[in-house]
Amino acid sequence: MDIKMEQSWKEVLKQEFSKPYFQQIVTFLKTEKLQKKIIYPPGSLIFNAFDQTPFHHLKVVILGQDPYHGAGQAHGLCFSVQDGVPPPPSLINIYKEIESDIGVGMPARYGNLTKWAQQGVLMLNAFLTVRANEPASHSKIGWEEFTNSVIKKISDEKKGVVFILWGKFAQEKQVLIDETKHYVLKAAHPSPFSADKGFFGCRHFSKTNELLMKQGIEPIDWKLP
């Protein structure tokens, strides 16, 4: 499998790539392709979050769960979609909260969050692949062991990272984070099913920047093109 990620991550995660569970992921994905299954995101974008946000530049982690399973959507950044794809409902709610929180209007037809990733926001899904039109279809193939290791590595080897955990699934990852060294922000998931139960009004975007500036770290410019 083409592990396309920025070099600093390859160093940090090199032990994971040789573990049996990771080899099982590779074998599973190769088998899916041989069976003509359509998998998202495309192979070159599976590790896009790591490619766009080098380990040494990482300031913030946003945790998602599953890649989008519709054609042309997923490109390896949680909640983000490729150029030309309208923002899905959860992302629209994220835009609404940003506008309410910091007064920045968001584009109605633009859902690519690469700009955030390039400023140090690791946009990490727990599962890095999915079969077309089958949500959570790759949730049991070993990805969670890999991404749990990623979270633990960040917690162990960095300091002052802001972890943004939306929804129950993401909040279960809190046990992997050393809160004596890092910051954890929690709220309901931005999905239309739960956004009005604690996501709206969470002010995580301004709070994140306050926590970064308190450490003398440049804040995130959440405004999109």
- Indicate which residues carry an active-site annotation: 66
CA-nearest of 115, 76, 90, 49 to 190 is 90
3-class DSSP assignment, residue 31: helix
Amino acid residing at 30: K
Neighbouring C-beta atoms of residue 148, cutoff 10 Å = 14
End-to-end CA distance of the chain: 33
> Read out DSSP for 202-225?
--HHHHHHHHHHHTTPPPP-----
Alpha helices in the chain (DSSP H): 7-17, 20-34, 48-52, 89-102, 114-117, 143-157, 167-171, 204-214
